[in-house]
Amino acid sequence: MISHWPRLSLRSRASHWFEVHVRREKMVHAVGVLSAANAVELDPEPFYNASLDIEAVRKFLIEFAVWERRYKHYLPTIDYCPIELPGPPTETAQAILEQMHRWDDEARPYLTEIEELSHEHDRLMLLREFILAVPESGLDLSLLTDKGPALETAIYACPRLDEAVPDASRALVMQLQGPQHSFWVVVGTDTAPMLATLQQQGCQAVLLPDWLETDPLRNQLRIETEIREVARNQVARQHKIRALVQRYDLISMLGNVGLLRWYVDNAPGDSADRGYCRVTGWTGEADPELLTQLLKRAGIDAMVRFPAEPLFAHAPTHLHHSKWVQPFEFFTRLLGTPARDEVDPTPLLAFIVPLLFGYMFPDVGHGLILIIVGFAFARRWPSIRFLVPCGMSAAVFGFLFGDIFGFHDIIPAFWLSPLDEPLTVLLVPLIVGVILILLGMALASLEAYWRGRLRIWLAVDAAVLVLYAAAVSAIFWADAAMLMMAAVVWYFIGTLYAHPANRVAALGLGFVKLLESVAQLALNTLSFARVGAFALAHAGLSSAIISLMEQIDTPMLKITMLLVGNVFVVMLEGLVVFVQTTRLVLFEFFIRFLRAEGRVFRSFRPVAPARSSGND
């Protein structure tokens, strides 16, 4: 991969649907560069050839620019990214042009109405400011609308508050001050000279509706109603415009226009005869710029985008781990591949598997043998590297139990001797099992959060976790029984919350599921006792081999017996312990959270050309 450092994360790296546009003669080279970097998984039908008529596309872009300026306030402002270019660039440009005209024909009436409503809104806001300024003056607005045929009335709003009053010998003039305008009320028989002066000063006429009354409060309520009605009509038209944007898929259209611009900007002079190719697939890189730079370093000019993934696409999962964690992918893949909203337990297995394996196979000498085997065959079989950490763990537990090649008296036991304290050896794995089960349930909560179902998990499954933890604690803490009862109540209340449609059936089904969960958790916990049992079995088998060896008088036979016995123990117990570790991981740990509904990311690797012989 381009990103060389694996991340220690419980979530698999997301895959992105990518699209590379490159000149046709560079297509094979581009695919080779991407595959060499282990960066992409190609679509089964990835290649799309596109001839390019530069002049036709450039002419389209000029016409589109005019259309875009005209309607820029109504076009989406998000990042445009279509699923794919629907056809060759020239045909795509023509299709977009037809789409623009169809959208324009259908949207124009709504756009005209929006502009008219915008003007009406501005007029009403100006009238509102005037009406709110009237009460302080004592002016009766109804008199202005009921004027006689010989009397002229006009109202003008001026942006400045200190306008010079023109000659008003033939008119009655009143000035009102609003927050933003100075209003001039002019009434008379010959108002034309004064009105001309006001217009020259940049004032605008305020049109009075015929519904004005004497009561200022009623006028204020009426103007607020008028403004809300205009705003409601504006919103209704805007909704219709947005519906047209979705119906005509303008987001994809604008994204394709951006791609056509890239074609024109990057096309060589003779590109009309060469054309372009489109390569699609999946990549684990988080930024298309990484792929762009990779191609640029190889001398390839290309456009890389991360469009929306195709409908019903099954995105692959990246299990991108360090070389010491990779061998433990084997255990995860036995069940399947985690999906993008599932926990990838592989990093945890790098600790859990050696812990269980070493406890069941505690011997310093046998652990060293496993380490040597792991290193010796790692190059031929990389997955066998898991024997190295397992061997280290076996050696550590060998020191703790004082066991080396079956001898219990060569090195002191730093902790205990299994055969002397068998109950402790059996109890410790049970505690570890409880911790692993609780961990698995906690990982299920993390997945619920990723899926947006954390509330449901907290309502139901969290109660089961608390019930299990309380039941285990009750062995040492008597008051934990009260917590168990609270968890049961919590569980049934949560079940009612999670299934509001049919609560009676939900309670019955919830009761059955609770019994199943309790029984399963009990069996899963007891299953970890086998870890201690195999540790005791290892100690017993080693002691038996040493006892048989001590009964032999011939030194060579003693050595032979010791070698054969240890080889037998390493091969037999190593296999049995591996199987038991696998079983515990799959059926006691994974069952809590892992559904394995994903698929593995498979990077594209081109077939290497056959080498020609010297006779060719």
DSSP state of 188: E
pLDDT at 614: 40
For residues 195 and 57, give the distance between their C-alpha atoms in angstroms, rounded to a whole number: 54
pLDDT at 170: 60
Average pLDDT (125-154) is: 72
- Residue whose token pair is 């009238």: 127
Work out the pLDDT band at 160, boundaries 50, 70, 90: low
Query: Is the Cβ–Cβ distance between 144 and 105 less than 8 Å?
Result: no
Predicted confidence (pLDDT) at residue 310 exceeds the cutoff of 90: no
Six-digit token string for 478: 């008597």
Work out the pLDDT band at 616, boundaries 50, 70, 90: very low
pLDDT at 580: 95
Work out the pLDDT band at 600, boundaries 50, 70, 90: confident
For the chain, residues classed under CATH 3.30.70.2750 are 117-234
Average pLDDT (514-526) is: 94
Predicted confidence (pLDDT) at residue 176 exceeds the cutoff of 90: no
pLDDT at 512: 93
For residues 552 and 558, give the distance between their C-alpha atoms in angstroms, rounded to a whole number: 6
Query: Is the Cβ–Cβ distance between 278 and 47 less than 8 Å?
Result: yes
- What percentage of the chain reaches a pLDDT higher than 70? 85
- Residue whose token pair is 């010079």: 164
Predicted confidence (pLDDT) at residue 346 exceeds the cutoff of 70: yes
The helix (run of H) or strand (run of E) holding residue 156 is strand 152-158
Average pLDDT (367-385) is: 90
Alpha helices in 377-451 (DSSP H): 387-401, 422-450
pLDDT, one tens digit per residue, over 54-73 is 677 788 888 888 887 877 77
Query: Is the Cβ–Cβ distance between 606 and 29 less than 8 Å?
Result: no
Within 8 A by CB and 6+ apart from 571, the residues are none
Buried b (16+ CB within 10 A) or exposed e, 450-461: eeebeebbbbbb
pLDDT at 604: 66
- What percentage of the chain reaches a pLDDT higher than 90? 30
pLDDT at 394: 95
pLDDT at 270: 42
Burial class, 247, CB count within 10 angstroms (exposed 0-12 / middle 13-18 / buried 19+): exposed
The one-letter amino acid at 26: K
Count CB neighbours of 169 within 10 A: 9
Predicted confidence (pLDDT) at residue 156 exceeds the cutoff of 90: no
Query: Is the Cβ–Cβ distance between 68 and 58 less than 8 Å?
Result: no
pLDDT at 4: 44
pLDDT at 204: 84
pLDDT, one tens digit per residue, over 461-513 is 999 999 999 999 998 888 889 999 999 999 999 999 988 888 888 889 999 99
The one-letter amino acid at 464: V
Predicted confidence (pLDDT) at residue 368 exceeds the cutoff of 90: yes
Average pLDDT (416-442) is: 94
Predicted confidence (pLDDT) at residue 83 exceeds the cutoff of 50: no
Average pLDDT (21-25) is: 76
CATH topology of domain 117-234: Alpha-Beta Plaits (3.30.70)
Predicted confidence (pLDDT) at residue 290 exceeds the cutoff of 90: no
Angle 54-70/250-266 helices, nearest 10 degrees?
140
pTM confidence score: 0.64
Q: Which of 434, 431, 439 has its CA nearest to residue 521? A: 434
Work out the pLDDT band at 603, boundaries 50, 70, 90: confident
Buried b (16+ CB within 10 A) or exposed e, 397-425: bbbbbbbbbbbbeeeebeeebbeeebeeb
User: Of the ranges 119-133, 163-177, 586-600, which one carries the lowest mean pLDDT score?
Assistant: 163-177
For residues 55 and 67, give the distance between their C-alpha atoms in angstroms, rounded to a whole number: 19
Q: What is the mean pLDDT of the chain?
A: 82
Work out the pLDDT band at 427, boundaries 50, 70, 90: very high
pLDDT, one tens digit per residue, over 202-243 is 788 888 887 877 787 888 888 889 889 999 998 888 888 888
Q: Which of 578, 613, 505 has its CA nearest to residue 334? A: 578
For residue 81, report the phi and psi dihedrals to the nearest 5 degrees: -155, 100
Work out the pLDDT band at 278, boundaries 50, 70, 90: confident
Instruction: Find the Cα–Cα–Cα–Cα dihedral 352, 353, 354, 357, rounded to 10°.
Output: 120
Predicted confidence (pLDDT) at residue 615 exceeds the cutoff of 50: no
